[in-house]
Amino acid sequence: MVFIYESSRWTKKGSISGYFLASRNMGWIPVGTSLFASNIGSGHFIGLAGAGAASGIAAHGYEQGAIYGLMLLGWVFVPVYLASEVYTMPEYLRYRFGGQRIRLYLSCLTLSLSIFTKIAADLYAGALFIQLALNKNSSWWLYICVLLLLLFAAVFTIVGGLTTVVYTDLVQTVLMVLGSLILMVISFNAVGGYSGLVEKYPYAVASIKAKDAFNRSCGEPPEDFMSLLRTTDSTKSEYPWTGMTFGLGIIQVWYWCTDQVIVQRTLASKSVVHAKGGTILAAYLKFLPLWVMVFPGMASRILFTDRVACADPETCQAICGSPKGCTNSAYAELVLNLLPMGLRGLMVAVMLAALMSSLTSVFNSSSTIFTIDIWIILRKKLFPRKFGSSKPTEKELIVVGRLFVVVMVVASVLWIPIIQNTGKSQLFDYINMVISFLASPICVIYVAGVSCKRLNEKGAFWGLMVGLFMGIIRFVAEFAYDVPACGSGVPDPRPELIKNIIGGVHYLHFCVLCWIVTFVTAFCVSFVTEPIPDECLYRVTFSSRLDPRVRRPIGKGMDSITQEKVKCAPENGIQLTEAGSSTNTCSAVSIISTETYTSKCEVTEEQRAAAAAHFLREPPFWNKMININCVICLTLSTFVYGFYA
């Protein structure tokens, strides 16, 4: 609590930039560690270790592919977002396309996904770990524990805003890495090292095995367990290489380049160099999950075969409460049975740190989206007499953001029974499937919006609607029926049409198909409708990111707070003119951060536009250093793919 208080004091909580973007004053180390910690929650420790126990290293493709997404974020998307002066991703789409319907649609979709997938997954995984590690089986104890975790995470977010979240992520990342490295060393030692792991894993089969409808043994590890790229037959492989290359690529771009939780960390950077440096640090850290999560999960199957690799529905039900398998308990089994008491407490702290990092990140980012993209638009419609034509004050926006965190907590608590009833061993696959169904249309619009000027609002909207329609159909077909566990003897209730056609198309392959349909729809509609004028696209596309001219709003003026007149402190550095020259007046950072200072100088639209373009300039030395590290990181990642192909 002392750290929360101290870090909250560093935040300029009286300003929207201070609360939602940490005053845009974050260096590359806290940005990078916050990117990593926001992504690695307790769901990763449980889910990745469980996937490793079930089928080997293929699931690490999600982590390895993230490196390419992080580089795209730093070198392509962040410069555009910073130049366009946005707080949220839906707000960027408002600048890029005009209108409010796309912005509102994506805001509501993002908030729904935050509650029902991100928070749900981490709460379920955290609760499962606590139950197994501390041997507490009471449902009331579980509810009390989850409530305390949620309330503590909410305090982090409400008290200090993004600054508290980012600096807390820094501490928690160190804790996660150290704790997981200790468990990794102990796990490798227990199975005879790396060579022992590879030799023993394929023979780690439960003593009691059921048979499926084709008289095949359940729970057998795949032959290609040490391969990242596997057969394209979706009936034989959970991770076909075509899906893990193209479908996963779409998911990576959506998650790392357009998701508010992730992008908000880079928007808080003090410069574009620090933003890129943060993505590089996070990319280097993404090499760790294979060693600290996936391999330990495989070791857990070797050490506790009959429990982790149980292959009979009745036996699994008795062990972990899930007839479909107990691989999700792999990491908890290691902590419970390998570590001495002191280290066991450390690993409990690691898991709680992972859970806290994810929850605080989601709470802060979701409150930002609600405040900037929904409240500002709806306040006049819901309360016309009270607000009329008045614009929201910074105090009002911060209060609304904090209150929405409370709403998120309540919604998450109400979702706990659903987590318990539907999560089980299928939760990790459920999360990836839902993302695949919904990510493609969003990915198309952001990629095309950043790279191509011809895409307009009508094309983007109807592309999203067609993609959403496809995703909902697949979602209903996928989850309307409960597929029985292997060896249960219960017949598959799905109709033949769903079983043979939809069930035969892997969700990552469907992701690619949905992307193509959305892309074609969006551009077909755009080409038969009026294009957006070039003067409305300055600094909202990659090709125009350095354009210092004033951007003309699309449609009826902008609702965003970033269009407000701002004042800046004369001692903060430079003031930019239309031509980009400077005097000792106001800094580019203070201009684009939209903070209200006590000052005599008021920034014009021309100065603001020039400052936004100037903000992307990089010192030659640091530009060279980050580019070299980018190449090194991509080369190492490609080597890992080649080595484990």
DSSP string, 183-227: HHHHHHHHHTHHHHHHHHGGG---SSB-B-TTSPBTTPPPTTTT-
Q: How far apart are CA 466 and CA 45, in angstroms?
A: 35
- Residue 636: pLDDT over 90: yes
453 neighbors 532 (Cβ within 8 angstroms): yes
Closest listed residue to residue 65, CA positions, set 248, 327, 234:
248
**Percent over 70 (pLDDT), the chain:** 78
At residue 425 the predicted structure's pLDDT band, cuts being 50, 70 and 90, is: low
CB-CB contact of 87 with 372 (8 Å): yes
Q: Higher confidence at residue 243 or residue 261?
A: 243
Given this model, what pLDDT does residue 361 score?
Answer: 72
Least confident of 144-158, 365-379, 411-425, 434-448: 411-425
Rounded to two decimals, the pTM is 0.83
Over residues 251-275, the mean pLDDT reads 90
The single residue listed with the structure tokens 């419609």 is 381
Select the more confidently predicted residue: 577 or 482: 482
Q: Which residue has the higher pLDDT, 112 or 444?
A: 444
- At 166 the pLDDT is 66
**Residue 376 near residue 560 (C-beta atoms within 8 A):** yes
pLDDT of the residue at 516? 96
pLDDT at 444 over 50: yes
Read off the pLDDT band of 558 (50, 70, 90): very low
